[in-house]
Chains A and B, each alone.
Chain A
Amino acid sequence: MSSNSQTISPVASPVTSSHVKSSSGYSGTQDINDMSRSFALTTKLDSIIAWGRKNALWPMPYGTACCGIELMSVMGPRYDLARFGAEVVRFSPRQSDLLLVAGTITEKMAPVLIRIYRQMLEPKYVLSMGACASSGGFYRAYHVLQGCDKVIPVDVYVPGCPPTPEAVLDGIMLLQKMIASGQPRPWRDNWKAPDHD
């Protein structure tokens, strides 16, 4: 969307007649300008879309290991991710826009992760939960990918092994801020799919 400067304003309506009669027979006389001012707000198109996006993230929980168990807590009754508008958990990448990578990604799993990421529709975001997903964690080992950002672009890293649910919520709020401010994401724009099948 390149219409950053475009302003939506119901006030710009050319209607100036002061008598409006509703079809239901309401017969009050009201200035439409007054009326619209009572419920409308002016904003930028981009901001309102971003506002919608940030409050309706549909996460796809890619829980592979211990962090996945802690992610259950984040979804669970006490921490309740629903408070941030992200409770519609989708297990199909095509229906979700936030990939929560929670857990160790092994070499064997890497091609699967890439495929899942590519199947998601734009705009899409990635949150890497925990030390393993962010850097391989304490598994400096022959079968562990040293961070999922080796293969997909990551927007938010949440440290911890596993991170506390509060930290994950904080990560999601950070992502919401990023979405709201329309922060550029060069890591995402410059991402080239690895040479995988």
Chain B
Amino acid sequence: MTSLEEFKKEFTQAGIAVENYQFSRAFGDDVILMPKEDLLKVFSLLRKNQKFDFLMDICGADYPQREKNGGKRFEVVYHFFNSKNAQRLRIKALVGDGETIDSALPVWRGADWFEREAYDMFGIIFKGHPNLRKLLTHHQFVGHPLRKDYEADRQQHCTQSIPIHFDNEPGVDGNILNENFVPINIGPSHPAMHGTLRVMAELDGETIVRASCEIGYLHRCFEKMAETHPYNQVIPYTDRLNYCSAPMNNVGYCKTVEKLMGIEIPPRAQALRVILCELSRIIDHIISVGTGGVDLGALTAFFHLFTYREKVYTLFEKLCGARLTVSMTRVGGMAQDAPDGWFDEVLSFCKEMRAGVDEITKLFLDNKIFIERTQGVCPISAADAIQWGYTGPLLRACGVGLDLRKVSPYYGYENYQFDVPIGSAGDIYDRYLVRIEEMKQSIRIVEQVCKSVPTGDYTVRLKGVVLPEKKDVYGNIEGLMNHFMLVIKGLRPPIGETYDATEAANGELGFYLVSDGSANPYRLKVRPPCFAIWQSFPTVVKGALIADAVATVASMNVIAGELDR
């Protein structure tokens, strides 16, 4: 770990004057606030020697009050991660309205869409970004919706669909490179596009000469909704980020709020969360592998795998009543305890699933057609993957064994025996190989947890955080008062900000949370794992056949809900 003092020394040695810098440590995060002019110099320095190899997230935040006081309105926040020692670093720079800030693209390719999003949402202009245009909102949208002065429900209608375009503004026809090339459009409503993705490609025969992605067809304004709802009411919105593995998003969000509030949840809640997460990982991979098979023409596997998914739904239903969008966690623990005998049912599911995974292995990984369609197709190297900000199974398929459950364990993952499977080629085959192996490992974890579930409470009992039990609300005056106070005042974390990440099914799911001490989050930024992955798609499929591009889309398992938020 590099301490803040060491950073200071390193910067000074490199000839950077650090007088105007603010080094601070808050809620376990290292934060450096610096003038925006020095950003690129510092970034290169951080990157050197692979110290911080990942640029995890870039986002903006709007503080109109500061502008009124003569300061600068926007903050641009960068999150760095060092995969060697799991150290995180947050760098912040201030920008005024209409001012420019240097783009991080020369140092990290993965900054591309993150900066476009910040431009779209706040109007922050990144100097040197070659293609700074809207990303999520539609092309007729005027204004920047995450600015505090944009009302959450002010809709602007879109009356035209966006024509095919490449690296230019939509509305201008994508200028074809060569008149013999054919531009084609796939999506947003297309079976291979898994929901609402859209790919535009220019073809030479069947080979992709260049491609471009248009996203935002499912931009549901999650971050704005979070700013207008109390902390616990944000939980159902998080379900709908990655809806293939909804409980994982609940856990990631609650863990962030708990970090800000300094709450340690009881062991039983931790165990329940681990079970939920690992079951979700299994069903997420089921969707990924199943629909991936459909895209390659193998419909049987989808039907077969869905039987197992239904079984997990039944388990969730027993636990909380909902199948898909469970909203099972609360800040401070779980919403309720598991019913009697639930853990035994989970154990017997694990047994069935084990047999299921073996079948899937035979159906897919040993299948000649599958092997020929996927092996050596659209591979990506480990170095490139890190540059783009890949995490999760896709990164591991390239041979990088990064898994947050191992490098910075939470909820007792360090006590469970499991392996982190890695691939070698980074091609489509390895991605499925890693996913299928991960399902086995998740089963292992669930079995270990179920065999020794800690007893005790399923949530903390702090009166400013968790509602009292119903028997107290109806039974004694103190319970009634606490209930009333919490409902009226809301859950109020201290003023401050934090970033926390969990290993979700697709990779690092991070939440950057700013609290101003009120009952709603002031700013909540999600770092969705597939956002960084999907931005690399045009580069990855360049020169590939169009049919292989379809296989690549499926293997990336891009979930529009978390991509567009």
Q: Which of A29-37, A40-48, A110-118, A181-189 contacts B (4 or more CB under 8 A)?
A: A110-118
Total number of A residues with any Cβ neighbor in B under 8 Å: 41
Given the contacts A65-B195, A65-B243, A140 and B158 also touching, CB distance less than 8 Å: no
Decide yes or no whether B138 CB sits under 8 A from chain A: yes
Q: Which residues of B contact A68 (CB under 8 A)?
A: 195
A65 touches B218 (CB 8 A): yes
Q: Which of A3-11, A13-21, A73-81 contacts B (4 or more CB under 8 A)?
A: A73-81
Q: Which residue of A lies closest to B317 (CB)?
A: A164
- CA of A161 to CA of B243 in the docked complex: distance in angstroms? 12
Decide yes or no whether A58 CB sits under 8 A from chain B: no
Q: Which residues of A contact B141 (CB under 8 A)?
A: 107, 143
Which one of A64, A78, A103, A108 lies within 8 Å of B138 (CB-CB)?
A108
Q: Which A residues between 93 and 111 are near B, CB-CB below 8 angstroms?
A: 103-104, 106-111
Q: Which A residues between 102 and 159 are near B, CB-CB below 8 angstroms?
A: 103-104, 106-112, 115-116, 138-146
Q: Which residues of B contact A115 (CB under 8 A)?
A: 161
Q: Which residues of A contact B336 (CB under 8 A)?
A: none
Decide yes or no whether B325 CB sits under 8 A from chain A: yes
Interface centre among A103, A142, A194 (most CB of B within 10 A): A142
- CA of A161 to CA of B220 in the docked complex: distance in angstroms? 15
- CA of A161 to CA of B145 in the docked complex: distance in angstroms? 25
Given the contacts A69-B243, A139-B220, A76 and B310 also touching, CB distance less than 8 Å: yes
B157 touches A110 (CB 8 A): yes
A66 touches B243 (CB 8 A): yes
Interface centre among B137, B196, B239, B307 (most CB of A within 10 A): B196
Q: Which residues of A contact B303 (CB under 8 A)?
A: 76-77
Which bucket holds chain B's interface residue count?
A: 35 or more
- CA of A24 to CA of B221 in the docked complex: distance in angstroms? 72
Decide yes or no whether B263 CB sits under 8 A from chain A: no
Decide yes or no whether B65 CB sits under 8 A from chain A: no
B216 touches A141 (CB 8 A): no
Q: Which B residues between 154 and 176 are near A, CB-CB below 8 angstroms?
A: 154-162
Minimum CB–CB distance from A75 to chain B (whole Å) comes to 9
Decide yes or no whether B324 CB sits under 8 A from chain A: yes
Q: Which residues of A contact B153 (CB under 8 A)?
A: 140-142
Residues 165-197 of chain B, each 1 if its beta carbon lies under 8 Å from chain A, else 0:
000000000000000000000001111000110
Decide yes or no whether B219 CB sits under 8 A from chain A: yes
B323 touches A164 (CB 8 A): yes
Q: Which residues of A contact B161 (CB under 8 A)?
A: 111-112, 115, 197
Minimum CB–CB distance from B319 to chain A (whole Å) comes to 16
Which one of B150, B156, B190 lies within 8 Å of A107 (CB-CB)?
B156
B243 touches A64 (CB 8 A): no
Decide yes or no whether B380 CB sits under 8 A from chain A: no
B220 touches A143 (CB 8 A): yes
Residues 53-67 of chain A, each 1 if its beta carbon lies under 8 Å from chain B, else 0:
000000000111110
Decide yes or no whether A84 CB sits under 8 A from chain B: no
B195 touches A63 (CB 8 A): yes
Minimum CB–CB distance from A139 to chain B (whole Å) comes to 5
A141 touches B225 (CB 8 A): yes
- CA of A64 to CA of B198 in the docked complex: distance in angstroms? 12
Minimum CB–CB distance from B160 to chain A (whole Å) comes to 5
A141 touches B324 (CB 8 A): no
Name B's A-contacting residues (CB within 8 A): 136-138, 141, 145, 150-162, 188-191, 195-196, 216-221, 224-225, 236-237, 239-240, 243-244, 246, 287, 303, 306-307, 309-310, 313, 323-325, 560-561
Q: Which residues of A contact B154 (CB under 8 A)?
A: 142
Minimum CB–CB distance from A124 to chain B (whole Å) comes to 16
Q: List 6 A-B contacts (CB under 8 A).
A: A64-B218, A66-B246, A69-B244, A73-B323, A77-B307, A78-B310
Minimum CB–CB distance from A146 to chain B (whole Å) comes to 7
B310 touches A73 (CB 8 A): yes
B561 touches A65 (CB 8 A): yes
B323 touches A78 (CB 8 A): no
Minimum CB–CB distance from A151 to chain B (whole Å) comes to 9
Given the contacts A65-B195, A111-B161, A197-B161, A144 and B306 also touching, CB distance less than 8 Å: no
B155 touches A144 (CB 8 A): yes
Q: Which residues of A contact B216 (CB under 8 A)?
A: 106, 108, 143
B152 touches A140 (CB 8 A): yes
Given the contacts A107-B157, A116-B189, A138 and B236 also touching, CB distance less than 8 Å: yes
- CA of A67 to CA of B237 in the docked complex: distance in angstroms? 14
B243 touches A106 (CB 8 A): no
Q: Which residues of B contact A69 (CB under 8 A)?
A: 243-244, 287, 324
Interface centre among A73, A106, A144 (most CB of B within 10 A): A106
B219 touches A143 (CB 8 A): yes
Q: Which residue of A lies closest to B155 (CB)?
A: A142
A72 touches B189 (CB 8 A): no
Q: Which residue of B lies closest to A108 (CB)?
A: B138
- CA of A175 to CA of B46 in the docked complex: distance in angstroms? 61
Q: Which residue of B lies closest to A141 (CB)?
A: B221
B306 touches A76 (CB 8 A): yes
Minimum CB–CB distance from B381 to chain A (whole Å) comes to 32
B152 touches A142 (CB 8 A): yes
Further contacts, 6 of them, CB under 8 A, given A104-B218, A142-B152: A69-B243, A91-B189, A116-B189, A142-B153, A194-B159, A197-B160
B323 touches A70 (CB 8 A): yes
Q: Which residue of A lies closest to B145 (CB)?
A: A142
- CA of A139 to CA of B224 in the docked complex: distance in angstroms? 10
Q: Which residue of B lies closest to A66 (CB)?
A: B243
B155 touches A196 (CB 8 A): no
Q: Which residues of B contact A70 (CB under 8 A)?
A: 323-324
Q: Which residues of B contact A161 (CB under 8 A)?
A: 325
Decide yes or no whether A162 CB sits under 8 A from chain B: yes
Given the contacts A139-B225, A143-B220, A66 and B324 also touching, CB distance less than 8 Å: yes
B221 touches A143 (CB 8 A): yes
Minimum CB–CB distance from A123 to chain B (whole Å) comes to 21
